Amino acid sequence: MPVKNRPLLAIAGMAALLALAGCASETSTSAGSASPASSADCSTGALPTLTNGKLTIGTDKPAYPPYFIDDDPSNGKGFESAVAYAVAGKLGYATEDVTWVTVPFNKSYAPGDKDFDFDINQVSITPKREQAVDFSDGYYTVNQAVVAQQDSPIANATSVEELKGAKLGAQVGTTSLEFIQNVVQPDAEPQVYNDTNDAKSALEAGQIDGIVVDVPTAYYVTAVEFDNAKIVGQFQAQGEGNEEFGLLMAKGSPLKPCVDWAVQELQQSGELQDIQDKWLAGESAPYFGGASSSPSTS
């Protein structure tokens, strides 16, 4: 793959924590069962996991930085790997009791049985997805951003209107793709890629003018994987609500109350913020002006 991988330390000098405002009206915090009152309700032995005494967690492959480091979810490095192990710890599972399985992004929220207890893979909570699966309370609020090469015709765009003539690309099945289709509404159909690596390769090859990814990914790829790319801008909030990532479970999962409780405990203790501070550092990207459409609720 032509996209370069320099060490993660290359972005260690990036300044302030991402100040990410909510961005997508399509999303909503999952409102399922009430959370348990105490950790006693969520003891390890009482949880009906796929394998007794073990916690099975799903994510896609490749597993991308800054969410996972070295394509290895089990090493505890990267934002989502660290979140997964923090949730596991709250539920009483030691590191050695956590098993990871590969789950393609689109398959994770498809209807049907699951071969994981929960999946963590930058999956945004949306009403349509909630028809087929359950989500935990959101563990991260995220915006979408446009990344382009420095010599791209949209490199200096400051408004959504200036993006309409661009050739844009994104990964299939993502809210990034929905932002192209429903917020930018470009003149040309967006290019759809199987994964973010393919989209980045197309951008580097000059086949498209820009890609849309979540803001943490945008910071990472512009600092670490490209020599001549920039974050053109991020999108303003659309309508009501924030775009949030949630831990994904099978529809009707009996684990949801305890997973919600674990996320809430991590939020209240400040541990979730500490994990975010460690892995998602970056500078504030400018906001595009002039967005008037909302993403679909798909």
Say whether 144-234 and 19-141+241-279 share the same fold: yes
Q: What is the pLDDT of residue 138?
A: 95
Say if residues 209 and 155 touch (Cβ distance below 8 Å).
Answer: no
Say if residues 231 and 285 touch (Cβ distance below 8 Å).
Answer: yes
- Cα–Cα distance for residue pair 228/231, rounded to 1 Å: 11
Q: What class, spelled out in words, does domain 19-141+241-279 have in CATH?
A: alpha beta
pLDDT band at 43 (very low <50, low <70, confident <90, very high): confident
Q: What is the pLDDT of residue 279?
A: 94
Q: What is the pLDDT of residue 36?
A: 53
Q: Where are the domains of the chain?
A: 19-141+241-279, 144-234
DSSP 168: E
Concatenated DSSP letters of 64-106: -TTTSSTT-GGG--SHHHHHHHHHHHHTT--GGGEEEEE--HH
Question: pLDDT tens digit string along 107-151?
Answer: 999 999 999 999 999 999 999 999 999 999 999 988 899 999 999
- How many helices (H) does the chain have, and how many strands (E)? 8, 12
Q: What is the pLDDT of residue 25?
A: 30
Percent of the chain with pLDDT over 90: 72
Which are the contacts of 2, defined by CB distance < 8 A and separation ≥ 6?
Answer: 201, 204, 205
Comparing C-alpha atoms, which of 113, 121, 111, 109 is closest to residue 57? 121
Cα→Cα distances 263→3, 31, 36, Å: 34, 14, 12
Question: pLDDT tens digit string along 64-114?
Answer: 999 999 999 999 999 999 999 999 999 999 999 999 999 999 999 999 999
- Cα–Cα distance for residue pair 8/3, rounded to 1 Å: 14
- Cα–Cα distance for residue pair 205/275, rounded to 1 Å: 34
Q: What is the pLDDT of residue 238?
A: 60
Which are the contacts of 120, defined by CB distance < 8 A and separation ≥ 6?
Answer: 57, 58, 59, 80, 83, 84, 245, 247, 248
Question: In CATH terms, is domain 144-234 a member of 3.20.20.140?
Answer: no
Interval 168-175 mean pLDDT? 94
Question: pLDDT tens digit string along 182-222?
Answer: 999 999 999 999 998 999 999 999 999 999 999 999 999 99
